[in-house]
Structure 1
Amino acid sequence: MALKYKVAIVTVFALFVDLLDLTTVNLASPTLRREFGASIGLAQLAVTAYVVTVAIVMPASGWAADRFGAKRTFLFSLAVFTLGSALCGAAWSMHALIAARAMQGIGGGLLVPVGMAILFRAFPEQERATASAIFSVPAAVAPALGPFLGGILIDAASWRWIFLINVPIGILGFGLGVLWLKENRIERGGPFDARGFVLGALGFMALTIALSSAPDGPLMRPGILIPLLGGILILAAFVRIELKTDAPMVDLRLFEGRDFAVGNATMFLASVGFGGLLFALPLLLQGPHGFSAARAGTIMATHAVGIIVTTVAGPKLIERVGRRIVLAIGLLGSGVSTLAFALTDQATSQLLLGLILLVAGGSFGLTVVPLQTAPFRGMDQAQIARGTSMLSVIRQLGVVIGTAAVAVPLGQMAGAAGFATAFILAGLLILIAVPIAALLPSGNRDQAEPRHTH
């Protein structure tokens, strides 16, 4: 077997297990709340601890690969992710699970971008389209398989198995990586922006603590206000330092470009709604609707099917009607279908729930290609590399904010009112992105195409 295909096998293993994990944890939230007697705030922190850690670590992935070598960094991240998965499966309390999820995030934040870099480097330039297609396999299959598989594991065995299933896959991937991956030439690279990394990490962690506390009591209390204000001040210092640093961890100067700023704002709002929907939905299906985890997972899988279909069809549609129209249709459909869940009740059929989710997923899929290309119009290759990392961080932070935002009404309001408010909030945030997206260029071609990073 050619070396490039061996590299593809190893990286696909790793990417698949990471993406599979992302799609199963939301489904386990109701079970985790029952088993540990946890609040809504702690349940959403079990989700966001991973995503926040990924967002913090991801910008350092390029520096780590240059400094220590891509193979070493990849194997380290896979080992950390696998160990974190084992600790999640063995968690004895909700706080232990949250800590283990953060450990998973350290591995996941390095695993995907470094794994993609290794995959693309293994193929000659004329075969990069093949490498991109290989990456699309786990990116497409895992979100569709995750809810279905997760629901079966939760019902037939235990919630612990949605994490423990990662362990043998991770060990196998690690062993194959040791045997098959070749180390790239290690470069000194630029200096590590330690101040930016520490300030960014502290700021985002403080905000996460504040947001995770909001659903579980009065909003105007010291446990929320102190970390909230502290996080804002720390992030203000982070922005100031990053703008003055020659080699920043996060290049905020990219936001001086209108397309990049508008594209990231649109991505953020779309991700807020997306994250809110995927957190509230399992609670709705397994709570008021009374579905099992397996049945809820099967219904939720239709969302991923919709995303897959329209993501594939997206480029052709853009060629026909232009990027801006496709993006607007996607945002409108995603927002309206999310709002539709506020009108559902226990009498709503499974078929109708699945159809709404199919529309929601299909609509969101229409936004994928425009939001991964429009922000980078006119950028050179160096700027695109930094910009794709930034876009991935913005996407992760949007999911965190969306999860936390819908958790507030779910925790503060009882029954149907809490769910209705959560879905209305998520849907309106997506719809706010529509007029912002109208500021993006309407053409169907870009000077450069960035690669998807997470």
Structure 2
Amino acid sequence: MSTALPARTGGRGGNGGPPLPAVPRHALALAGVVVLGSFMTVLDMTIVNVALRHLSRAFDAPLSVVQWTVTGYSLALATVIPVTAWAVGRYGAKRVFLTAVALFTLGSGLTGLAWNVGSLIAFRVVQGLGGGMIVPVAMTVVLRAAPPERKGTMMGVLGIPVLVGPMAGPVLGGVLTDALSWRWIFFVNVPVGALALLLGARVMRDDGERTGRPLDLAGLLTLPPGLALLLYGLTLGGERGGFGTPGAVVPVVAGAVLVTAFAVRALRAAHPLLDLRLLRRASVGRAVATMVPFSAAYFGSMILVPLYWQQERGLSATQAGLLMVPQFLCSGTVMQISSRISDRVAPRAIIVPGVLVAVTGFLAFAVQAGSDVPYWRLVASLAVMGTGVGMTNMPVMASATRGLADTEVAAGSTALNIVSQVAASIGTALTASLLTATDGFRTTLLCGAGLMALALPMAVRLPKHRP
């Protein structure tokens, strides 16, 4: 297990410098295990959407109630993610990862056995409590195992679920629901989770020394509920097309107050639940500032574009999903290339062009959005956008984590996942609200492209030197 893949020769960026160090085989084996676990959570975010109407009919419940199978899952994710860094330090990454996968797998099986809409939502929350820890722990495990100079390559491996999940989710969900039953969109996770547990127990190693850091009870009482309230309010505001109602504005304000209170205290506490002082480092802070508007716009487009295909062009959910396949293929393919390149070039050199390409594709789709534009032109625009996304997402993550020590990786990975989750919720809520307020896809799409362009001012301030 200690052997390694050969080092990449030819220097950094082909300039005759020293070769990049080899990626240990054990790191690649770890990556395979955690990718398998991460794939379940990414798949589960998309596979349920196509079955909501089936669930509504099966339980004779309004769609607004059944929608809580998605909302409850997301809120559980947000609640448990902040605890990840502390849990990894206290119990070790291996134990936390295996526990999270076991909880997610158990929740999946129980959800498939649900007997009414209440039990369905409750078991989805169990799923979310397990799923929320899987991705940040996966990042922690892989980044600790890889040499700092090859973190970009390993982030590319971790990005594989992001490629496969959004493509496979809607198609697999439709096939399982139509051919078998809605229960199988949850049962499908059980064998995958069991395999991840078996391989994880075999491949993963104990971390060694534990930090023994005390649990920050004040942080536990402010950050997780604050994030849950904030995301709940944003989701509710998006569903209702505005944030003026008390049902939306109260949780948003309360959540923002709790998160702010946590942040103020965390910057002074000796052992905060999440070390926000890492954001003071230029490499981390600027990468996060680049990620927020970019991720918000991208995840907003993930609900907006399928709605355009179905409502504006009259296509089925399956047809809409198939038309988005080229975008995901371009994103995933370019992601693997850009992640490796990011080990040898300055972050700014690949992320700035990536943002520009993504904005260009997004803008081209927005300008053309109409009822009579040829499909191939719109699909080509989305493919350009996907190319830019593939050039940006994982290199930004690699740039943020490259300078972290092993003891800081868990906190850094957790912070990045929280930022991504909040940004996605903000983007989704803003998109839904704009679509209702403007009553037009083109205006909303143009606003989304503008939001994505806000990532540029900070992207140009990312490190200009090679890692």
Same-fold call, TM cutoff 0.5: yes
| Residue 399 of structure 1, aligned match among 421, 424, 444 | 424
By how many angstroms is 1:107 displaced? Answer: 0.8
Instruction: Give me the whole-angstrom Cα distance separating, in 2, the residues matched to 1:313 and 1:441.
Output: 20
SS in 2 for 1:167: helix
Counterpart amino acid of 1:205? A
Contact 1:52 1:400 in 2 (8 A): no
Instruction: Give me the whole-angstrom Cα distance separating, in 2, the residues matched to 1:200 and 1:145.
Output: 33
Does residue 1:213 correspond to 2:236, yes or no?
A: yes
Q: Which residue of 1 is the match for residue 284 of structure 2?
A: 260
Change (3 A) 1:424 1:102: farther
Which consecutive unaligned segments of at least 5 residues does structure 1 have?
A: 447-454
Counterpart amino acid of 2:135? V
Q: Which residue of 2 is the match for residue 423 of structure 1?
A: 445
Q: Which residue of 1 is the match for residue 370 of structure 2?
A: 345
RMSD across aligned positions (CA): 3.8
Counterpart amino acid of 1:367? T
By how many angstroms is 1:362 displaced? Answer: 0.7
| Residue 389 of structure 1, aligned match among 388, 410, 414 | 414
Instruction: Give me the whole-angstrom Cα distance separating, in 1, the residues matched to 2:182 and 2:444.
Output: 25
The alignment of Structure 1 onto Structure 2 pairs a total of residues equal to 440
Does residue 1:310 correspond to 2:334, yes or no?
A: yes
Counterpart amino acid of 1:402? G
By how many angstroms is 1:311 displaced? Answer: 1.6
Counterpart amino acid of 1:292? S
User: Where in structure 2 are the equivalents of 1:316-395 lying within 5 Å?
Assistant: 322-342=346-366, 343-375=368-400, 380-383=405-408, 385-395=410-420
Change (3 A) 1:350 1:130: closer
Instruction: Give me the whole-angstrom Cα distance separating, in 1, the residues matched to 2:334 and 2:409.
Output: 25
By how many angstroms is 1:370 displaced? Answer: 3.6
By how many angstroms is 1:249 displaced? Answer: 1.6
Contact 1:11 1:115 in 2 (8 A): yes
Change (3 A) 1:429 1:294: same
Instruction: Give me the whole-angstrom Cα distance separating, in 2, the residues matched to 1:270 and 1:129.
Output: 19
By how many angstroms is 1:264 displaced? Answer: 0.7
| Residue 108 of structure 2, aligned match among 85, 89, 92 | 85
By how many angstroms is 1:412 displaced? Answer: 4.8
By how many angstroms is 1:220 displaced? Answer: 2.2
Change (3 A) 1:336 1:163: farther
User: Where in structure 2 are the equivalents of 1:282-321 lying within 5 Å?
Assistant: 282-314=306-338
| Residue 234 of structure 1, aligned match among 222, 247, 258 | 258
Counterpart amino acid of 1:344? A
SS in 2 for 1:347: coil
Does residue 1:442 correspond to 2:467, yes or no?
A: no
Contact 2:241 2:433 in 1 (8 A): no
Change (3 A) 1:262 1:96: farther
SS in 2 for 1:287: helix
SS in 2 for 1:64: helix
Contact 2:50 2:173 in 1 (8 A): yes
Deviations 1:176-210 (A, max 9, x none): 55566665547352111122122111111221222
Change (3 A) 1:219 1:72: closer
Deviations 1:298-356 (A, max 9, x none): 22222221112222332576689853243222222323333444442343444333322
Deviations 1:364-395 (A, max 9, x none): 11113441244457655544553333222211
Counterpart amino acid of 2:101? L
Change (3 A) 1:161 1:392: same
SS in 2 for 1:362: helix
Change (3 A) 1:348 1:154: farther
Counterpart amino acid of 1:200? L
State the identity %: 35
User: Where in structure 2 are the equivalents of 1:66-85 lying within 5 Å?
Assistant: 66-85=89-108
Instruction: Give me the whole-angstrom Cα distance separating, in 1, the residues matched to 2:326 and 2:212.
Output: 44
Normalising by structure 1, we get a TM-score of 0.81
Deviations 1:265-306 (A, max 9, x none): 110111101110112222333333332332222222222211
**Stretch deviating more after TM superposition (51-60 or 262-271):** 51-60
Instruction: Give me the whole-angstrom Cα distance separating, in 1, the residues matched to 2:155 and 2:403.
Output: 22
Q: Which residue of 2 is the match for residue 152 of structure 1?
A: 175
Change (3 A) 1:426 1:393: same
Instruction: Give me the whole-angstrom Cα distance separating, in 2, the residues matched to 1:46 and 1:345.
Output: 33
Change (3 A) 1:439 1:124: closer
**Stretch deviating more after TM superposition (209-218 or 245-254):** 209-218
Does residue 1:21 correspond to 2:44, yes or no?
A: yes
Instruction: Give me the whole-angstrom Cα distance separating, in 2, the residues matched to 1:199 and 1:235.
Output: 6
Change (3 A) 1:266 1:42: farther
Normalising by structure 2, we get a TM-score of 0.79
SS in 2 for 1:244: coil
Instruction: Give me the whole-angstrom Cα distance separating, in 2, the residues matched to 1:86 and 1:142.
Output: 19
| Residue 433 of structure 1, aligned match among 420, 431, 455 | 455
Counterpart amino acid of 1:250? L
Instruction: Give me the whole-angstrom Cα distance separating, in 1, the residues matched to 2:415 and 2:29.
Output: 30
Change (3 A) 1:34 1:273: farther
Higher share in helix: 1
**Stretch deviating more after TM superposition (213-222 or 89-98):** 89-98
Change (3 A) 1:80 1:419: farther
Change (3 A) 1:217 1:147: closer
Deviations 1:90-114 (A, max 9, x none): 5677776554443322211222333
Deviations 1:127-175 (A, max 9, x none): 9999777656545444443344334335545555333321232234335
Instruction: Give me the whole-angstrom Cα distance separating, in 2, the residues matched to 1:309 and 1:8.
Output: 18
Does residue 1:202 correspond to 2:225, yes or no?
A: yes
Instruction: Give me the whole-angstrom Cα distance separating, in 1, the residues matched to 2:122 and 2:448.
Output: 27
Does residue 1:167 correspond to 2:190, yes or no?
A: yes
Instruction: Give me the whole-angstrom Cα distance separating, in 2, the residues matched to 1:81 and 1:155.
Output: 24
By how many angstroms is 1:435 displaced? Answer: 2.0
